[in-house]
Structure 1
């Protein structure tokens, strides 16, 4: 997810086609480090331009969404209104592939004379800023003031001269020549990817990796491993890529893994050919859609943090307990030996001399001679009793541990399934249902005796290519609901084999399902399982009437004994989702 110089180039290209020569009709500052300019004229009639210098997420894009402004406009906003309200944008450009967009604006001053100003946004992570300059590049003001105490590289204060700091020796990729690329850049002792992105302004590791991929090279291989032909082929792909930037041959898109956005780019990312790519008309639409979707996942991660911590802690405790119980169970294996010792002493003990420390006897179970250690202070019969006591104690321990180990194993399976449900959750109502399950299972203390109202969380609803309804449970309560209340006997049930995941139900309506519907249901079961990241998952499927729930089993736990299996890809691209 790189807001790099190539993305900026795409934005500048779009802005020149849309708002160039437009007038600034309105200036708002909804956040302390964010502006929204309403532009009229140009080629769009009216457009809103968002400029954000947020340290965590600096952005610039056109948007249809407005934001409420504070009752009293901040000083920077008032200053811009005074100088450039109704000003005309005469030029929009990106200096040398930097992550900078510069707007040159003409306006009339108080005396009616034509003046020129520049509004500059620098999209540089925590160093991002919006700077307002006069025609001589003297800073009038900025949305963030940077003093010498904060930065030794450049002060950003009223009255100071504006310049772009050169913090590293990087080259403009749009003016690069082949000889320099081949004999300077590709001679650096590092990986191919790093040699590219560390040498050129505006090229991110993602873009550098894409250039390598298009040249059929491993981006993380050393430059020293390149043959002359490979270097030449790489240089061709590099210059073709830059030519597309110069010509404005952009294809803004978002790469999706199911419903989750993975990357965005101004060009098609061929390195993600195995994932779904959604193309858009403009890079502004890409940025707005990408970060809106990403915010949903980020928001859910934040909201679910407490629940995740509870589940993670419980899982760690249960796994430690399970390992300890297995170790204790291994220790009980001695019980059989003690039983044999006791029986043999009862049989042959009369032959042991008084005060003997051991007895050799024939083990009639294996027909081999064994040596039995003895306590010399005890008689043979007393030694036999001692061994039987040890045997009985270990036998009781074995029986108790066998039961406890099974309980702990089921507890781990249950917690693993809840962890998977947290990954699937898409709304606060989903989290409420998971919290309810954790409370009922005793992992969260009940704070009230009054029964909580059930959260209105619904399963995912998809429709197969052949028109059959497919339902996917988001958590264990929904899994039980789908399998044992919504599904009828001849409906088909799908689940990832031997791992936590959603119950997937296909409503057959009494029909025989086509193969494509089986394949799509399998992909849904793979995607909504713990094995999602593996790419391919083995899926069990059978008719619902063969799925049983043991008495007293945890929510979502079922058993079945006859089933079919298939291997499905964890990719749900192309499957229509209803809600």
Structure 2
């Protein structure tokens, strides 16, 4: 509910009290789908407003002390900043928050997978954080021009108060299903809706965890489900509440995933151990054949002279039982070899039986221990407790012994436009490994022309799919950025298919020969939609 219209209205009011007449110095990104607004306030020169435009979790929050990364950042709206924020408002009935600037407006659009940030200049031109199509930009430009902006909740509350029928109330776009459900059950729906809205806008916010489901909760107190058992904390302002909510949500997801991982591990282990126990139990119940093999060996030894090579069976007297025994022998072996075979089998049977008995005991102990761990999962556990269980179960060691361990790639790794994998070498030897061992024949290979620099490889997953030129240009820009041309305004970059790149014994470390090449002239930089993947 943190992203409902009335909570965003509350957020706009809180933002206004903090940001009005403050200067927005710069906007930049250093994380995917996240825009950083540097707005120094009072005693906090590194105060930032962070806006997440992620489709699943779009929200915004404060950081008192946020430092800009030294590399892998991209600036936005640089032609219009810095400038003062004169007011913070919200569109009437729309989840669009507007920072009114000295010259222009900064729009924060909360709209699912279309969530984005825009700057409208004095010429009414719309500049974007995340790229949108020209058609979509035209529609948004028109929509923004038609917005009615408000700075307080009074306008909305006054409008709802005048509604007499529930169907009219239902037609209002900014009333959520939760509010309408409560209002419909009351004698005066409009009054009930106003009361809930006033609580959302002015009263404390309940944030916590549903003990049964583990779900994070963000809600006005009156809308909490009294049938649920919850751990709750109350917050005076929206931004403290939303920061705590996402912290709880991340912890909950982490706890939930850890629990599922342990449950899956225990299920697999118990299934394997049950099968192993059944086999060992059958082996033990069948008993040891040590005595039988020993008896046969002794009987054969007493009749060694009667054993003829080439015979498959012999009948001998068993002096212990005073009876005759028919013993199968190997016709290819000598008499002594057949005798040794039975005595060896007797010793082997003894060891195997003892080993099976001990293994059954140890396996049964592990089975019971795993059952104990499974019972522990039936109660509420913290992330730390679950990590301790994983450590006791030695899950990482177990998984590494049964699964092929993925090696960390020793190269810099970028994902371009969320799809294309691009790799950059770190030094001469690393370049050689990237080009001669890692790159595939139909991958694209890059290198800054006529200067020292890193080799780049753009992975081609599907050879039938043409790589867009803009993607090649972005890969070239990254390549130039990691070369001696980094400080140039424009730099030429060679690119070709890896199959046209060769290396032999005459080449020094990091050197190659290119049989066929193309050249792109690009700006050395890390483009905005190129995500750096940490090791």
TM-score between the two structures when normalised by the length of structure 2: 0.48
Normalising by structure 1, report the TM-score: 0.44
